[in-house]
Chain A
């Protein structure tokens, strides 16, 4: 009789731990998926900015055709289809390099650098890069929590049994560095 009670108690504890770990794994996996969607939204914001940037630079430097074609092609490639984060990162890095080259071209044209439209686009691009970096850090933090659970005992037993696998990190360098805090007049705000 005692043996049955002990076995039942052990079975109960094992099941309770399994349920708790399973639910935690599902929660963290959903969190990583959700944070990946946030990255996607910010990348989309960058894709939307690029055609405007290209056409603005084109207005001043029409003969830099090679650079424009490269940016357009890399953008189309990055947007093509949903991919795993590591593969997407490779495409985004290539797009980032093309955009950086486009910005370098713009640097050679003082009139373009001074134009209001270009300055606005430059600011929006810097802001978008910052947003992408925030979304990327959140995604990686969630992946770290999820992967750690998937790879550590006793959760790894449940993870293997139910097919939870590690998620890749998303690494991406910003195209442009931020320009510091905006010039805000704080006087008289208190």
Chain B
């Protein structure tokens, strides 16, 4: 009986220490993001007051549960944007109980003066290439380098070709450190693996450059509604 109690106490102690570390790490991140927001003149909220998580992006429909948190909002290099943490989890059940696998990201969301059809730019991997051979292809553009590296999902071929012109493709090949980019309506969502707050403004700069690469024909063909 006694060894069992000692075992339970040790497990509880480890659990408590791990929880404490998690709480302190989160508090440190909240402080760092808050300080960043104050430094650059953005507003800060540690919860998703604007319900960003309900927006119709593919990333926000993944997993069994999800949350947006630590949101900063403001104008960076003339482009209004929000930068925030996002995670979702997958649940898997077994006889020993359910376990969760978390997928954390840092995202930046900006608006552009256009009403764009839905487009998702991700990376090609073994499975997506296999899908291409089975006829589950993406939009194929005229640059093989670009096609090999990126997977473009868009129901509107005209929009994909309007947005991804030669200049934009060239720029994306050189600025490829993102997880995915989604465009829908006036919104552009840039997704990266979870970043240290010191690097959050890099996302803002990326979005600012992306905005400058958008071909004028996008604005004339897909004007804001």
Contact = CB atoms under 8 A, between A and B. Distances in A.
Asked if A and B are interacting partners, one says yes
Contacts of A181: 211-212, 214, 216, 219
Interface stretch (B31-39, B94-102, B157-165, B196-204): B157-165
25 contacts: A127-B220, A130-B220, A131-B217, A134-B158, A137-B142, A137-B161, A138-B158, A140-B142, A141-B142, A141-B161, A178-B215, A178-B216, A178-B217, A181-B211, A181-B214, A181-B219, A182-B216, A182-B219, A184-B113, A186-B75, A186-B80, A186-B111, A187-B80, A188-B80, A190-B81
In which size bucket is the chain A interface? 20 to 34
Nearest to B112: A186
A180 B201 CA distance: 25
B128 interface: no
Contact of A190 (B82, B161, B214, B220): B82
B34 to A, nearest CB: 20
Interface in B171-206: 186
Given A137-B142, A141-B141, A189-B111, A184 B219 contact: yes
A138 B80 contact: no
A6 interface: no
B140 interface: yes
Interface residues of B, number: 29
Nearest to B163: A134
Interface string A169-190: 0000000001111101011111
Nearest to A178: B216
Given A190-B73, A190-B111, A138 B157 contact: yes
A14 interface: no
Chain A interface secondary structure, helix, strand, loop or mixed? helix
Contacts of A182: 216, 219
Interface of B: 73, 75, 78-82, 110-113, 140-142, 157-158, 161-162, 165, 186, 211-212, 214-217, 219-221
B140 A186 contact: no
A152 B212 CA distance: 40
A73 interface: no
A180 B216 contact: yes
Contacts of A179: 216
B213 to A, nearest CB: 9
B147 to A, nearest CB: 10
The CB with the most chain A CB atoms within 10 A, among B112, B162, B221, is that of B162
A135 B217 CA distance: 11
B142 A190 contact: no
Interface in A117-164: 126-127, 130-131, 133-135, 137-138, 140-141, 144-145
Nearest to B111: A189
Contact of A130 (B75, B82, B142, B215): B215
